[in-house]
Chain A
Amino acid sequence: MNGLSVHFEGVSKTYPHFTLDNLSLELPTGTIMGLIGANGAGKSTTIRILMGLVHQDQGRVDVLGREMPREQAAAKLDIGYVSEDMRLYAPATLAWHMKLIRSIYPRWDQPYADTLLRRFDLKSHQKIKGLSHGQRVKAALLLALARRPRLLVLDEPTTGLDPVARQEVLAELMAVLADEDRTILFSSHNTLDVEQISDQITFIDRGRIIASDNKEMFLDRWRRLRLALLPDAVLPSLSGVVEVGGSGRLPVLVTDRFDPAMVSVCNDAGATVQAVDPMTLEEIFVANVHSRREKQSV
């Protein structure tokens, strides 16, 4: 790791019906960050600001040492960008697109492009309008990867893909990760995809970053405790409990700061711990969002 590839500091952007609020984010070089949020949470706005396509109202954005949006042209020379709403030119062939990109990016890697063509089962002479949605996403990914970018920015690239195409795309991304200097920002509302490839996770909701940490830390700290309360016993006070569910005698606690000592604290208070369940990233995300929204509404 060597410095930061992406640095957001106090970035805000206001639209009539949406505000990206005081967003600060750091993406160290060589990491793969998954940006998770519901539809309309602000993922695409964040990424567009990162790419210089939308200008922030406040705050500072640096990408690969370039100030955005002022130095976007220079920064984009080292960025590969694929978004769900990106289309290639329908009447042109993939070969024409490859030729265009090759003429712009000095690090274009033709042998790698040929490898990706075979791996993705794409035909370069085929016109884009003849490709399926999955093939179009793969074609866009090929064009982004073969330019050998230092930073790969993927905005919901797997949305709308069938399971086979999605797995092929994710497998290729995982192969790319072998390069330690490559930094990836991957946004999705599909937590399974993000969980597979990311080592850093950032949750975004209603224009705010609500949590950002190492993936393993998320998975290690978050637990669901299923308790059985003895008659007259009260629920013990535990730190880090973000959600209390279940029924009166059989409460279910969700904590974001699980410690094995919690089990003995519960037992001492007359609450038998029946199970300590690990949580998936999706469950962690949903619990996190609910907890933050409840705090906001209080």
Chain B
Amino acid sequence: MNYAMVKRLILKDWYLQRWAILASLAGIVATLGIIATGGKVAFLIGLILLIMVIISIGAQMAVATIVMERKEQTLPFVMSLPISYREYTASKIWGNLLIFLVPWLTMVLGSCGLLLWSPSSRGLLPYAVVMSTEILLSTCLILAVALITESQGWTVAAIMVGNLAVNGLGYLVAHIAGIAKGMWGSTIQWSGAASALLLGEFTTIALLLGLTSFVQSKKRNFL
């Protein structure tokens, strides 16, 4: 693996998507600001906007750096560089993850900070961590579908499935006894259910990305 080339390709995507990254960061800071104002309505509006911004940036990165690369015919330029498809795949997986982790970590740390800051909502922390990881998982699903299919249609379908999964799982997770029990309390009650959910999410992410690398390594036509 030519790590120097992988790094250059990641930096290339980073540079080309710099305005989208900055816009998402600004969006996340603004929505955290709305939540911090304290009202119940502000909390709900801020939360909805926060989820919208973070899901959008994950989807935007996959579409812009993978699907559009093929659609706008910049893929032949990239593949003319001294890289193999393995290095191309690695650069897309790590590049997209690293780019997404910037707004995602801002969101996770900001949300956790706000929950810890307000004593009455500390009990929500396990739920927030599980759901933030679910958003990361949903983004990895979009990334995997975009890389494997390189199709706009399939990627849009994956975005929709990812969105539905976040909403559906949000409801289900909130009704798991181990999570629901201390959710509205003022103390953090980290349960075995929360740990199991997190482990399941990170395992699924690893499997998803591993499967993506495997499928990519079996491809025989890149243009």
Contacts and interface: CB of A to CB of B under 8 A. Distances in A.
Interface of A: 48, 51-55, 69, 72-77, 79, 81, 83, 85-92, 96, 100, 103-104, 140, 144
B8 interface: yes
A73 B82 contact: yes
Interface string B9-24: 0001001100000000
A72 B222 CA distance: 13
B220 interface: yes
B82 A140 contact: no
Contacts of B8: 100, 103-104
A101 to B, nearest CB: 8
Given A85-B73, A86-B77, A100-B12, A54 B84 contact: no
Contacts of B83: 73, 76
B221 A73 contact: no
Contact of A73 (B2, B74, B223): B2
17 contacts: A51-B79, A51-B80, A52-B84, A54-B220, A54-B221, A54-B222, A55-B221, A73-B2, A73-B82, A76-B80, A76-B81, A83-B76, A86-B73, A89-B74, A100-B12, A104-B81, A104-B82
B81 A53 contact: no
A72 B80 contact: no
Interface in B51-65: none
B197 interface: no
A72 B73 contact: no
A88 B83 CA distance: 17
Interface string B140-167: 0000000000000000000000000000
A72 B84 contact: yes
Given A48-B223, A77-B82, A92 B16 contact: yes
A51 B82 CA distance: 10
Nearest to B1: A73
Contacts of B87: 73
A290 B90 CA distance: 47
B180 interface: no
A90 B72 contact: yes
Interface in B66-102: 72-74, 76-77, 79-84, 87
Of the listed residues A51, A73, A92, A100, the one surrounded by the most CB atoms of chain B closer than 10 A to its CB is A73
B12 A88 contact: no
A55 B15 CA distance: 31
Contacts of B73: 85-87
B49 interface: no
B5 interface: yes
A87 B68 CA distance: 12
Contacts of A48: 223
Given A87-B72, A103-B8, A54 B82 contact: no
Contacts of B15: 92, 96
Given A76-B83, A86-B80, 8 more contacts: A55-B221, A73-B84, A76-B80, A85-B223, A86-B76, A86-B77, A100-B8, A103-B8
B76 A74 contact: no
A77 B82 CA distance: 5
B81 A87 contact: no
Given A79-B80, A83-B76, A87-B73, A104 B16 contact: no
Contacts of B77: 86-89, 140
10 nearest interchain CB pairs? A81-B80, A55-B220, A86-B76, A87-B73, A77-B82, A76-B82, A53-B223, A73-B84, A53-B222, A73-B82
Contacts of A83: 76
A103 B8 CA distance: 9
